[in-house]
Amino acid sequence: MPQVLICSPDKPVGRRHLITPPLVKQFVHERQLKTQVLQPGNTNELKAFKEELRSAYPEVFIVASYPMIIPQEILAIPTSGTIGVHPSLLPKYRGPAPIQYAILDDESETGVTLFLMDEKVDHGPVLASRGLEFSILNFQFSNLRQKLAELGAELLIETLPKFVERKITPVPQDESQATYTKKFTTQDGFVDLEKDDPQVIFRKVKALNLEPGVWTIKNGKRTKILEAGIDRNGKLLLRKIQIEGQKPKSI
């Protein structure tokens, strides 16, 4: 059966703005997989690939960490449907930032959900879900994202054969329990070291670094808070900062 990868376009990365392909495309090329790679830049370009996707006669699409809203006409192409891999225990934390919200809300647990995608955001019936087997309280965003990616891959490998063989009955989500997330802005990363709760600042540092980043105004200068902690008395400890115009420094 033909394999098709749809991913974001290559983009400039780093100070030198080197044009760099997405990691998943790099994976395909490094292993010389027989996979067709399509890289639409917007929804209209994605729709333009509709007939090309149909001609592959796909049985299932799998969507993970894709930044674009996928039209229903694309989701409906596979004979068995489109499976979404979402890093939360749906219906909680639908939307683009479930991992960051779990950290900001001081959740002790989270997990991964596989669901049949429809035209609504993270709304379709659930095929399988699994929670992490440890507390997430001390995890930074980047570490937690990696753990959830690994868990999602494991769950998908276990679930996909059963799904294709029609051995799984999709279960509708409980809409009364649904919560939503949004993309973060630069302003969301602002903290007031004099007024804000130290625990709130600490959770922001864990959740919002490196994007959009956590910052404050210190001695009249914009200062990024790169690493922080909490001492026994509940006081915030700044461990690594970067004052505007200077290099990062440990404290």
**How far is the C-alpha of 192 from the C-alpha of 174, rounded, in Å?**
38
Question: Which pLDDT band, with edges at 50, 70 and 90, does 210 fall under?
Answer: confident
The pLDDT value given to residue 1: 54
Residue 43: phi and psi, rounded to 5, are -65, -40
Answer yes or no: is pLDDT of 67 > 90.
no
Considering the domain 62-177, what is its CATH architecture? 3-Layer(aba) Sandwich (3.40)
**How far is the C-alpha of 248 from the C-alpha of 88, rounded, in Å?**
33
**How far is the C-alpha of 153 from the C-alpha of 158, rounded, in Å?**
9
**How far is the C-alpha of 134 from the C-alpha of 167, rounded, in Å?**
29
**How far is the C-alpha of 216 from the C-alpha of 41, rounded, in Å?**
35
**How far is the C-alpha of 192 from the C-alpha of 197, rounded, in Å?**
9
Answer yes or no: is pLDDT of 124 > 70.
yes
What DSSP state is assigned to residue 225? Answer: E
Q: Is the separation of the CB atoms in 118 and 95 below 8 Å?
A: no
pTM score, whole prediction:
0.91
Question: Which pLDDT band, with edges at 50, 70 and 90, does 2 fall under?
Answer: low
Label residue 57 left, alpha or beta by phi (over 0 means left) and psi (-120 to 50 means alpha).
Answer: left
Q: Apex CA 248: angle with CA 244 and CA 251, to 5°?
A: 110
Q: Tell me what percent of the residues of the chain surpass a pLDDT of 70.
A: 99
Q: How far is CA 185 from the centre of its chain?
A: 16
Residue 12: phi and psi, rounded to 5, are -65, 140
Average pLDDT over residues 228-239: 94
Protein fold of 186-250: Methionyl-tRNA Fmet Formyltransferase; Chain A, domain 2 (3.10.25)
- 7-54 pLDDT, tens digit per residue, is 999 999 887 889 999 999 999 999 999 899 999 999 999 999 999 899
Average pLDDT over residues 141-149: 96
The pLDDT value given to residue 6: 93
Considering the chain, tell me which residue range(s) the CATH 3.40.50.170 domain(s) occupy.
62-177
Considering the chain, tell me which residue range(s) the CATH 3.10.25.10 domain(s) occupy.
186-250
In this structure, how many other beta carbons lie within 10 angstroms of the beta carbon of residue 178?
Answer: 15
The pLDDT value given to residue 60: 95
